Chain A
Amino acid sequence: MRTKDHEIMFSSEKVQEFVQLTGERNPIYQSIDKAKEYGFKTIPLPPAMPNIVYQWIEIPWKLEHPVILRKQNCVLHQRMFIGERYRAVVKVTDQNKRQHHFFVQQTLCIYNRDGQLCFEGISDLIAGGLS
């Protein structure tokens, strides 16, 4: 199972909201000028931030509550930045049922405009069901 491809873009405001929540004080997230001072072309995304794209992706399967994250593995193949267009897709990469629980592995892949893989987030979940 996999979703359709979705085009996504991150804004400076979203990065500010994210770092305010996580308490990150790294200046590269504060402004484009600060990011440039440290050699970046613009504000990069914090490494955990790409996972928020789930909210923008229409997922054609349903995980029944409660859904618990038990393991997360993320590979940042390339730095991601605000203001750039990316393409995101989610796949179910493994699933099995043990007793009353469904063990589901979802993989989020984010590609840049050249089709290069930038981010891979593998989430091992326990759910009440999968339909």
Chain B
Amino acid sequence: MNILTFQITEKDIEQYAVISGDTNPIHLDIDAAKQHGFPDRVAHGMLTISKVLGVLSNDVLSPYEAITDYNFSFSAPVFAGNQITLSIKQTKNSISVSGECEDKKVIKGFVRLAE
């Protein structure tokens, strides 16, 4: 099993809002996030997934390996500044991923690869 880490910064969240057009205030405005019961700005779910796939692309896959599908679920929000530790287990045509932040599971899922 591989253990890899990445961080989601405030700048990442702001940049993802620009790239995706998702300007939901819980991602960008700490007061709006607090109004909805969150302690800080919440990272876009697709930003976290994009970063997970980026880590896999850099450290697990070869340049021409194709992902055919991916499936992730969130068990807790990821906040600006969080560092996520991924536990990655690869079998022949799939990779299972589990991500924790401060000993709390935040994301879990799998990626399938083309044969």
Instruction: List chain A positions with a Cβ less than 8 A from chain B.
Output: 14, 17-19, 21-28, 38-39, 46-49, 51-52, 54-56, 65-76, 79
Contact = CB atoms under 8 A, between A and B. Distances in A.
B22 A28 contact: no
A17 B17 CA distance: 12
B12 A71 contact: no
Contacts of B53: 22, 24, 46-48
B73 to A, nearest CB: 4
Contacts of B61: 26
B3 to A, nearest CB: 17
Contact of A76 (B6, B19, B68, B72): B68
Contact of A23 (B6, B24, B77): B6
A71 B50 contact: no
Interface residues on B, range: 35 or more
A76 B69 contact: yes
Main secondary structure on chain A at its contact with chain B? mixed
Contact of A47 (B47, B51, B67): B67
B20 interface: yes
Interface stretch (B38-46, B80-88, B91-99): B38-46
A21 B7 CA distance: 11
B58 A23 contact: yes
Given A65-B25, A74-B69, A79-B66, A23 B74 contact: no
B54 A19 contact: yes
Interface in B8-50: 12, 15-16, 19-22, 24-26, 32, 36, 42, 44-47, 49-50
B50 A22 contact: yes
Given A65-B24, A74-B69, A17 B49 contact: no
Given A54-B22, A65-B25, A66-B24, 9 more contacts: A19-B54, A25-B57, A46-B57, A47-B67, A52-B20, A67-B26, A68-B26, A72-B45, A75-B69
B20 A55 contact: yes
Looking at A17, A38, A52, the one whose CB has the most chain B CB atoms below 10 A away is A52
B45 A68 contact: yes
Contacts of A18: 19, 50
Contact of B21 (A46, A47, A52): A52
Contacts of B19: 14, 17-18, 21, 52
